[in-house]
Amino acid sequence: MTPRRKKRLLLVLLMIFGVSSATALALKAFDQNMMFFYSPTEINAGKAPENRDFRIGGLVVQGSVVRSEKSLMVKFDLTDTKEVITVQYAGILPDLFREGQGIIARGQLNDGVINAVEVLAKHDENYMPPEIADAVATAKEAN
């Protein structure tokens, strides 16, 4: 091997090393931070993971929103029209949060209650996030 080729080989090896470590990094981060989406029915069937964030979507049950008197803690029920699950959250709810609206929450499941760290209600008043529409449709089919 000529010295020039040796140098080139070294460069190529370095690049391969760099790219593969970046790939490993990406896949590991991806695996750690991947979040699945579950409907209330799936959660009550015990499908949701423990000690790991996931996303849940559903309609806020009418009359279920309860606020704390002293803190920002708020509790509400979510439904996919079949099963119901309670979510609690300490923070400011988004502008579009209403009873009867579709929302998505991110959090973990503890003792049958979702402890949410984020509550999202995007889009305009006529729009239902596709995940929730799907969950509701699936629940209706099962009925």
- Cα 109–114–117 angle (5° rounding)? 105
In the complex, what is the shortest distance from the CB of residue 64 to other proteins, in angstroms, rounded to a whole number? 16
Contact letters for other proteins, residues 84-123 (x by CB under 8 A) = ------xxxx-xx---------x----------------x
Distant-in-sequence, close-in-space partners of 102: CB < 8 Å, separation ≥ 6: 57, 58, 59, 60, 121, 128, 129, 132, 133
Q: Are 55 and 104 in contact (CB under 8 A)?
A: yes
Span from 2-10, 44-52, 76-84, 108-116 in contact with other proteins (CB under 8 A): 2-10
Structure tokens at 76: 């509400």
> Which residues of this chain interact with other proteins, rule CB under 8 A?
4, 7, 10-11, 15, 18-19, 22-23, 25-26, 29-30, 32-37, 53, 55, 67, 70-72, 90-93, 95-96, 106, 123-125, 130-131, 134
